[in-house]
Amino acid sequence: MDQQIILGIGWFAVFLFSTTCHEASHALIAYRLGDPTAYHGGQVSLNPLPHIRREPFGMVIVPILSFILYHFVIGWASAPYDPNWAREHPRRSALMALAGPLANLLLVVISGLFIRIGLEHGWFVPSEIIFSAREKAGAFVGLALLLRIFFILNSILLCFNLLPLPPLDGGSVVTLLMPVRHALNFRDFMSQPTYSLIGLIVAWNLFPRIFGFVFPLLKQAVFFNFAG
């Protein structure tokens, strides 16, 4: 099979799993905190099909097209929630928003631990593409590719979604730092479609700088004290 096709399948599979974990975490926390909307929609599940049915364009079409055009996967998904519940319980709504990025953080940590184990056992070696399988360690080439994609993609999802701008998760998470009254006013203000559009434009332009600072720190945490 062509190398580019294998790479595309790997990126799409990891995107599908990571995004499903992200949205299922939103849905689960909302359900636990009193909003069963996503639960009844089938989103409290690691089965990607309910999430694909809700956002087929963002979960399938755009990721495939983006890889074909740019050799990189982008896309989106969403979990439904009751806006009345969110307004009545702004703290719970903020925790629901935080749950998605925390799922991506968990996947970053897990993939980072496996990368570290591979480095310690000599299966992987540092390289220009973060790390790769050691020469002649053919059995670990596929594993190295998968772990590299998991680490990179979930680092991106974590950092991007935590930007404190609407309509990203960080735009709700930031209200945890505010008194309830101010949090409500902030949510009402930022829920306007115009601000969501502006937020996405700002996030798209700001993200490369933020990620350029955060990602080396995440890599350093994995490679810390590693002599090779």
Please tell me the predicted confidence (pLDDT) of residue 138.
Answer: 65
**Per-residue pLDDT tens digits for 158-191:** 999 999 998 999 999 999 988 888 888 888 777 7
- H or E segment and range at residue 213: helix 193-223
For residue 227, is it within any domain? no
Based on the fold, state whether residues 1 and 72 are members of the same structural domain. yes
Rg for the chain, CA atoms, rounded:
19
For residue 33, is it within any domain? yes
Give the confidence band of 135 by pLDDT, cuts at 50, 70, 90.
low
For residue 54, is it within any domain? yes
Show the DSSP H helices in 3-131 as ranges: 3-32, 37-40, 48-54, 56, 62-70, 83-88, 90-120
Based on the fold, state whether residues 143 and 199 are members of the same structural domain. yes
Query: Which residues, in sequence order, are CB contacts of 189 under 8 Å at separation 6+?
Result: 195
For residue 95, is it within any domain? yes
**224: alpha, beta or left? (left if phi > 0; alpha if psi -120 to 50):** beta
88 catalytically annotated: no
Rounded Cα–Cα distance for residues 77 and 101 (Å) = 13
Rounded Cα–Cα distance for residues 22 and 99 (Å) = 7
Based on the fold, state whether residues 93 and 155 are members of the same structural domain. yes
Based on the fold, state whether residues 95 and 208 are members of the same structural domain. yes
For residue 228, is it within any domain? no
- What is residue 168's three-state secondary structure? coil
Q: Among candidates 43, 182, 179, 147, which has minimal Cα distance to 100?
A: 43
| Residue 202, pLDDT above cutoff 90 | yes
Based on the fold, state whether residues 18 and 99 are members of the same structural domain. no
Based on the fold, state whether residues 31 and 98 are members of the same structural domain. no
**Per-residue pLDDT tens digits for 76-112:** 999 999 999 998 999 999 999 999 999 999 999 999 9
Catalytic site residue from 23, 88, 120, 128: 23
For residue 102, is it within any domain? yes
Based on the fold, state whether residues 39 and 11 are members of the same structural domain. yes
Domain span at residue 43 reads: 1-79
Based on the fold, state whether residues 74 and 92 are members of the same structural domain. no
Based on the fold, state whether residues 98 and 126 are members of the same structural domain. yes
Average pLDDT for residues 134-141, to the nearest whole number? 71
Q: Which range among 5-9, 108-112, 140-144 has the greatest average pLDDT?
A: 108-112
For residue 106, is it within any domain? yes
Q: Give φ, ψ of 127 to 5 degrees.
A: -155, 180
What's the number of domains the chain is made of?
2
Based on the fold, state whether residues 72 and 155 are members of the same structural domain. no
The structure tokens listed for 74 are 């982008």
**Per-residue pLDDT tens digits for 58-70:** 999 999 999 999 9
Average pLDDT for residues 41-56, to the nearest whole number? 96
